[in-house]
């Protein structure tokens, strides 16, 4: 139920803001607006404001909306009202009306990011866990427990890193844009050093978990403590208890939760997969674990269960591994918060455009396209995490909607702006015949994108 409510609220907000952008600028330009609708189909509720010509309504299908303006191309217009019709307006007014929808979505994102910046968020401190073996971070000389103070793309000026999420965003940008990232690490200003992560060599096409494993920075540093233990799982059967501090596994000394997860994960493998017994545990013997419980060392024999995940054999112990990370409050002042909101909106917009461009030329997977099912799923998950997480999700989708509508597809706002660009250059509007051809082509492309997105949704959620 939370997922459904969050999804409907998300769509309602984004659509209302987008259409209100069109409506507000149209009214400001002196255009008569006949109808403002959130949703399609039969209206479930309609109303009019006093002394206003516009009918406002909420449709049964909340998957879009529209603003219907007086227009000679759609219906006969009383000569006395011809000056109020959209098609009779000067080019600059028509451009402003069409661009106002996407602009409203982008402005909403700026304000949401700013609001979150002003309120403040609890985020993990930018302390690095042990890097994944063989990863870029390990080759760069990182070993874990380094505090990241500043970061920058190669050639740019170093900037403060306020949290691990801030660092993750910079790494995502660097990987997808093919740019190396410089990190200044160290707790003491006199002992800081700079390392270079060669992300330009990744050739990254997807921002998924595997990307961060290749980079080697998967999560923030945590103590190697056992958390909640699943009844009947490998940890429970081996005698592990919540609160146990793991000091050693076999001959490997454990320094943090990330390293412990890697050691457990690495217990599986092709060689051991062939020796799995009927109970799902490795047939070649358990691991020797040394843990600290209530201040006393304890030796346990732990037999992780081997699981198949994505074609690979990995190990699981049936327990939460790693203590919660150290958190910091990230908060900005009024001006800085607004500026950072604008910067984040700009960065997300550019990244979205680059990913779309890479998908068009085949450099990025079409699996990056997401549809309504994925949006609904993430809406519910973010809402369950609290207002801040939901607001950040709403801002991200608002940016995506704004950028998508600016694409030069005839059925989108960007397509109409493309027509107006032609008109500005040639001095004449696009002919009806070409308009019809372009509309048909745009619909075909949009339907293709929607089909791929829906297929990805089904594969991601039910595959």
282-325 confidence digits (pLDDT tens): 445 688 999 999 989 999 999 888 877 666 677 889 999 988 89
Collect all residues with Cβ–Cβ distance below 8 Å to 98 and sequence separation of at least 6.
Answer: 22, 413, 416, 417, 420
Q: Is the pLDDT of residue 180 over 80?
A: yes
The CATH H-level superfamily of 124-220+328-368 is PDZ domain (2.30.42.10)
- 124-220+328-368 and 226-324 in the same fold: yes
Cα 224 from Cα 239, distance rounded (Å) = 17
Split at pLDDT 50, 70, 90, the class of 23 is very high
User: Which residues make Cβ contacts (< 8 Å) with residue 104, sequence separation at least 6?
Assistant: 17, 18, 20, 21, 22, 402
- State the CB neighbour count (10 A cutoff) for residue 202: 16
- Asked if 26 and 94 touch (Cβ cutoff 8 Å), the reply is no
Q: Average per-residue pLDDT in the chain?
A: 85
Q: Please tell me the pTM assigned to this model.
A: 0.81
- To which CATH superfamily is domain 226-324 assigned? PDZ domain (2.30.42.10)
19 is catalytic: yes
* Main-chain phi, psi angles of 377, to 5 degrees: -60, -50
447: left (phi over 0), alpha (psi -120 to 50) or beta: alpha
Query: In 10 A of CB 379, how many CB atoms?
Result: 25
> Taking the domains of the chain in order of start, what are their residue ranges?
124-220+328-368, 226-324
Q: Which residue has the higher pLDDT, 377 or 184?
A: 184
Distance between CA atoms of 234 and 75, rounded to whole angstroms? 72
Calpha distance 396→349 (Å, rounded): 9
> Is residue 275 very low, low, confident or very high in pLDDT (cuts 50, 70, 90)?
very low
């Amino acid at each position: 139920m939370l997922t459904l409510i969050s999804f409907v609220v998300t769509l309602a907000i984004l659509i209302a803001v987008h259409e209100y952008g069109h409506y507000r600028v149209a009214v400001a330009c002196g255009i008569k607006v006949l109808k403002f609708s959130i949703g399609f189909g039969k209206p479930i509720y309609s109303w009019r404001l006093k002394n206003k010509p516009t009918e406002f309504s909420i449709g049964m299908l909340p998957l879009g909306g529209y603003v219907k303006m007086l227009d000679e191309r759609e219906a006969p217009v009383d000569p006395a009202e011809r000056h109020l019709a959209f098609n009779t307006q000067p080019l600059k007014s028509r451009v402003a009306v069409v661009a106002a929808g996407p602009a409203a979505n982008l402005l909403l994102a700026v304000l949401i990011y700013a609001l979150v910046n002003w309120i403040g968020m609890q985020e993990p401190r930018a302390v690095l866990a042990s890097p994944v073996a063989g990863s870029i971070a390990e080759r760069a000389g990182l070993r874990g427990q380094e505090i990241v103070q500043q970061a920058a793309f190669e050639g740019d000026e170093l900037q403060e890193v306020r949290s691990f999420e801030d660092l993750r965003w910079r790494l995502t940008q660097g990987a997808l844009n093919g740019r190396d990232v410089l990190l200044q690490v160290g707790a003491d200003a006199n002992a800081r050093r700079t390392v270079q992560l060669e992300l330009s060599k990744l050739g990254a096409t997807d921002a998924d978990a595997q990307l961060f494993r290749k980079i080697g920075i998967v999560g923030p540093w945590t103590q190697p403590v056992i958390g909640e233990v699943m009844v009947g799982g490998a940890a429970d059967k081996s005698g592990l208890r919540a609160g146990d501090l793991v000091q050693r596994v076999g001959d490997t000394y454990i320094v943090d939760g990330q390293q412990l997860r890697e050691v457990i994960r690495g217990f599986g493998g092709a060689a051991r997969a062939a020796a799995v017994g009927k109970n799902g545990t490795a047939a070649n013997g358990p691991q020797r674990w040394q843990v600290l419980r209530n201040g006393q060392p304890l030796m346990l024999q732990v037999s992780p269960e081997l699981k198949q995940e994505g074609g690979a054999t990995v190990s699981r112990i049936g327990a939460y591994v790693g203590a919660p990370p150290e958190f910091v409050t990230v908060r900005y002042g009024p001006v800085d918060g607004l500026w950072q909101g604008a910067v984040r909106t700009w960065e997300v917009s550019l990244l979205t455009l680059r990913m779309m461009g890479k998908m068009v030329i085949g450099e990025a997977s079409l699996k990056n396209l997401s549809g309504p099912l994925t949006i609904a799923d993430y809406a519910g998950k973010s809402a369950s995490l609290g207002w801040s997480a939901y607001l950040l999700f709403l801002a991200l989708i608002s940016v995506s909607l704004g950028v998508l509508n600016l694409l030069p597809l005839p059925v989108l706002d960007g397509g109409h702006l493309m027509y107006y660009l032609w008109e500005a250059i040639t001095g004449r509007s696009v002919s009806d015949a070409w308009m019809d051809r372009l509309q048909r082509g745009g619909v075909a492309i949009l339907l293709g994108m929607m089909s791929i997105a829906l297929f990805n949704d089904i594969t991601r959620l039910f595959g």
